[in-house]
Every structure is written in structure tokens, then in C-alpha cells.
Structure 1
Amino acid sequence: MSVAEDGRTGQVEVAGVVRLIDLSLLHGPLQSGEHVLVHSGIALERMSAEQAQEVMSLFAPPAVGKDVAQDQRPPG
């Protein structure tokens, strides 16, 4: 995340897309590189790097593996 000079707006990258966000709901100054929870372009809360990683893992594509349909076919 990068923070504008006024401290009220910033830019975040999500899934390769850079978005402008409103930081006015957060208390205290933010530093570039901090993690925030964003909804509809508004930063709602600060997050630790560990929390951010956990949340991002929920939205990650599933791991490549066996085709489920193959596992459900009867043997033979």
C-alpha cells in the first residue's frame, strides 16, 4: 500500500490491479507497506502481515489436483 501526502487516500494492489482507496476511517497515520482490510474502496481496519496472508489465502485459486469427476466414476 502507498499513502498519499494528505494521508486520507492511498493505493493498494489486489490481484494485480491497483486501486485508489479512502483511508479516512482509520485512526492514526498509516505507513506505506501496511496491510489494510478494504471494502468498496474504503479501508476498514489495519491488519498484520499474518492476518493479511491468511485472508488472501481464502481467495487463492484451489490447488491443482485430480479431476473430481474421475474420482466419482465407478471402478471398472
Structure 2
Amino acid sequence: MRDNMETGTIKCFFPFKGYGFIRREKGKDVFFFYKDLENEAEIYEGAKVQFSLNESSTGRCPSARKIIKIG
């Protein structure tokens, strides 16, 4: 596991829109863009992932970066 990486599960993914949400193990759900998936992994609802968290300075939902499918 990389330093400062969190784990979670893909809660929902909208492939035609290019975004979705990850249910974190600890904390609120986070938003992600398909472009932030490393290695263009095939992603689907229920997939386990690791990611780094990008806190928003505008008060919006935090987003996930450097998303890696695990398991």
C-alpha cells in the first residue's frame, strides 16, 4: 500500500458521463473522474480501490486521485 492512500469501494460509476463515487472505509463518500484511474483499469460498482484524497478548497465534496483497483 502506498503512503497516504485510502481504501474504499466503488459505490456508483457512470461510464458515459466519466465519473462516479467511492464509498470510503472511514469518512464520507468521495467523487472521482474516470481520468484519475491509474492504468485505465476496468472499473465497476463494488470494485475495491486505493486512492489518494484531494480536499477541495471550495467546500465541495473531496475527490479521489491516483485510483488503483485492488483485489
TM-score, normalised with respect to structure 2: 0.51
**Rounded Cα–Cα distance in structure 2 between residues aligned with 1:11 and 1:4:** 9
Other-structure match for 2:46: 33
**Rounded Cα–Cα distance in structure 2 between residues aligned with 1:47 and 1:7:** 23
Q: Would you say how many aligned residue pairs link Structure 1 and Structure 2?
A: 48
**Rounded Cα–Cα distance in structure 1 between residues aligned with 2:13 and 2:66:** 12
Q: Confirm or deny that 1:8 pairs with 2:18.
A: yes
**Higher Cα radius of gyration:** 1
TM-score, normalised with respect to structure 1: 0.48
Alignment of 1:58-69 (within 5 A): none
Task: Determine which structure has greater relative contact order: mean sequence separation of CA pairs < 8 Å that are 6+ residues apart, divided by chain length.
Answer: 2
Aligned partner letter, 1:11: F
Q: Higher strand proportion, which one?
A: 2
Q: Higher helix proportion, which one?
A: 1
Task: Tell me how far 1:18 sits from its aligned partner.
Answer: 1.3
Aligned partner letter, 1:44: I
Report the aligned-residue RMSD: 2.1
Is 1:21–1:42's contact at 8 Å kept on the other side of the alignment? Answer: yes
Name stretches of at least 5 consecutive residues in structure 2 with no aligned partner: 1-9, 55-63
Match of 2:33 among 22, 42, 52: 22
Aligned-residue sequence identity (percent) comes to 10
